[in-house]
Amino acid sequence: MKKKIAELWVKALRSGEFKQGTRYLDNNGKYCCLGVLSVLGLVEGVCEYEKNSENHGIYNKSRVYLPTAIQKWAGIESSGGEFTNNTNTSLAELNDVDRLNFDEIADYIEKNWRNL
């Protein structure tokens, strides 16, 4: 992952501006950690955004995983934020399964951004 974008992401996760949610990038105003990155990409103009009838935010036609445009912009290898250092975990799992809060996920990104 690109260091500059990792730093922006960590700052956004710690900002308190985003309510944490699970399973969707943006579900009725609650975001998973990957959704926060998608918002940053939207602000930078690298993707399009719309809401569906269920009030899910959709970024380049994706509502669950990172769209390819966000992956390329951020330099992330996978759509679920899988780590490339064989830890068998992903940011999606840390957010949705392990239920780490955004501060804990930000700590994880700070330590492991090279492996995303």
Rounded distance between C-alpha atoms, residue 32 and residue 43, angstroms:
17
pLDDT digit string, tens, across residues 49-93: 999 999 999 999 999 999 999 999 999 999 999 988 767 789 999
- The whole-number pLDDT of residue 66 equals 96
Rounded distance between C-alpha atoms, residue 82 and residue 1, angstroms:
11
Range 95-112 average pLDDT: 96
What is the count of structural domains for the chain? Answer: 1
Q: For tokens 């918002």, what's the residue?
A: 39
Domain of 89 in residue numbering reads as: 3-115
Q: For tokens 């912009």, what's the residue?
A: 73
Residue 97 has pLDDT above 90, yes or no: yes
Helix (H, G, I), strand (E, B) or coil at 28: coil
- The whole-number pLDDT of residue 85 equals 77
Q: Which amino acid is at 74?
A: A
pLDDT digit string, tens, across residues 27-46: 999 999 999 999 999 999 99
Rounded distance between C-alpha atoms, residue 102 and residue 85, angstroms:
22
Are 53 and 63 in contact by the 8 Å Cβ rule? The answer is: no
- The whole-number pLDDT of residue 116 equals 94
Helix (H, G, I), strand (E, B) or coil at 91: helix
Rounded distance between C-alpha atoms, residue 107 and residue 111, angstroms:
6
